[in-house]
Amino acid sequence: MATYQYEAMNSTGQGVKGEVSATTTEEAIAKIRAQGDFPTKVREKAEAKGGAARRGGGSRARKGASAKPSSRRSVGRVSKKLLTQFTRQLSTLQDAGLPILRALRILEQQQKPGMLRIAIRLVGDDVEGGATLSEAMAKHPKAFDQLYTNMVQAGEAGGVLDLILQRLADFMEKSQALRRKVIGAMIYPIAVLSFSMLILMGIMKFVIPKFKKIFLDFDTTLPGPTVALMAISDWVSEQNGWLIILVSPVAIWLILKLIRQAPSGRHAVDKLKLSIPIMGQIVGKSAIARFARTLGTLLSAGVPILEALNITRETAGNEVYSRALLNVHNAIREGESFAGPLRQAKVVDPMVVNMIDVGEETGDLDKMLVKVADTYDDEVETLVGGLVSLLEPVMVIVLGVVVGFIVIALFLPLVKLIQSLQS
């Protein structure tokens, strides 16, 4: 009978560590659960002369580890699309019964040269050296984030890694689909506004100065709109106003990024986003869909609720909702329900709170959270479509007013000159 070291969450959500004697990993997990704890990591205790030998050849594992020192370095970010495909394929291979190391080697060969292929190779090297899959992935946080590694860890502990990987792939696909919808809807108005601004700056810098020279030769008093247009043209062409216009978006982005370095600044910026008409609704509903789907996926994978809330809070993407989830976490730790503190935070609609309340009562909180995410995904899609439909006429009206002002400002002096000649 071997000795297994384990890390688990007790009934109050606190982390505990210990050892248990069992013949197999499954028996160790059963004993830990019988104690009232939820295991998150179970490993056979290594002997003094190297526990890697228990996993199939200690000398080979140590040799592999010394021959591949690069497995200790961390890789950079990988494409979300490629990572989703990898997760789906790994789930399929696990469901087919292939050992995890062989599955990793197969997927490594299928990948094109790039960061993901390097990450898979390094993870495979660590697994071959005796590490679990979640431990190997945790060494590369830029490639496999905390949500990813925790779900893999839960799948290993429960013996349902293939199912967890499938749920994780579904989660990533739906998250990317929502992100693509929002970004795709913003491309058209941003492109139109950018080209319109470049054309207007060209008119101010090259066309208006020629008219200004002609009007000065008239030696007559110019109308107010024409004087204002000439002043704007001078600012753009002679006072480097065009440079200020081009640099301003980048400067604003850098300032906001600097402000977001502090938690209070991040909260202020995210709260400001939520107060913008229409756009604030899109941001808010997207955040609700994101945290509901993340939390529902973690709970369905068997991750304890307190740990799942911590992971969801760190991946919420909005400080307002992150603080609300922190309050929920602290309340649950004190023995309260999920819905109560979320209702007090007043950051979600009553419908969301009621659905979560029903989920708690029926014991299907994970399923109810996924339904909330699906509902809000549809609402975000509707809002994005409405925003695009609204922006098109607004942009036409704004551009029409600007062009009309330029035309009127240029023709008024000509009309005045003709009238003076006639008189």
Query: Residue 409 belongs to a domain with what CATH number?
Result: 1.20.81.30
Q: What is the pLDDT of residue 71?
A: 40
Domain end position, chosen among 45, 60, 77: 45
pLDDT over 60 at 417, yes or no: yes
Region of residue 98 (phi > 0: left; psi between -120 and 50: alpha; otherwise: beta): beta
Q: What is the pLDDT of residue 332?
A: 87
In a domain, 126, yes or no: no
Quick check: pTM over 0.95? no
Q: What is the pLDDT of residue 251?
A: 92
38 and 185: one domain?
Answer: no
In a domain, 113, yes or no: no
pLDDT over 80 at 37, yes or no: no
pLDDT, tens digit (0-9, with 9 covering 90-100), for 174-215: 878 877 877 877 788 888 888 888 898 888 888 888 888 888
Q: Which domain holds residue 9?
A: 1-45
Task: Tell me how far apart the alpha carbons of residues 89 and 83 are, in angstroms, rounded to a whole number.
Answer: 10
pLDDT over 50 at 58, yes or no: no
pLDDT, tens digit (0-9, with 9 covering 90-100), for 260-298: 888 888 889 888 888 888 888 888 888 898 888 888 888
The DSSP string of 73-121 is SPP----HHHHHHHHHHHHHHHHTT--HHHHHHHHHHHSPSSHHHHHHH
Task: Tell me how far apart the alpha carbons of residues 13 and 198 are, in angstroms, rounded to a whole number.
Answer: 57
Cβ atoms 119, 75 nearer than 8 A: yes
Alpha helices (H) in 111-262, listed in sequence order: 115-128, 133-138, 146-158, 161-202, 208-218, 224-237, 241-259
In a domain, 405, yes or no: yes
pLDDT over 60 at 46, yes or no: no
Question: How far does the chain reach from its first CA to its final CA, in angstroms?
Answer: 115
In a domain, 128, yes or no: no
In a domain, 323, yes or no: yes
pLDDT, tens digit (0-9, with 9 covering 90-100), for 328-361: 888 888 888 888 888 888 888 888 889 888 988 8
In a domain, 164, yes or no: no
pLDDT, tens digit (0-9, with 9 covering 90-100), for 109-146: 888 888 888 999 999 888 888 888 888 998 888 888 87
In a domain, 136, yes or no: no
Task: Tell me how far apart the alpha carbons of residues 158 and 163 are, in angstroms, rounded to a whole number.
Answer: 10
Q: What is the pLDDT of residue 279?
A: 83
pLDDT, tens digit (0-9, with 9 covering 90-100), for 349-403: 888 889 888 988 888 888 899 898 888 888 888 888 888 788 888 888 988 999 8
How does residue 47 score in pLDDT terms, banded at 50, 70 and 90?
very low
pLDDT, tens digit (0-9, with 9 covering 90-100), for 71-119: 455 677 888 888 988 988 988 888 888 888 888 999 988 888 888 889 9
In a domain, 111, yes or no: no
Q: Into how many domains does the chain fold?
A: 2
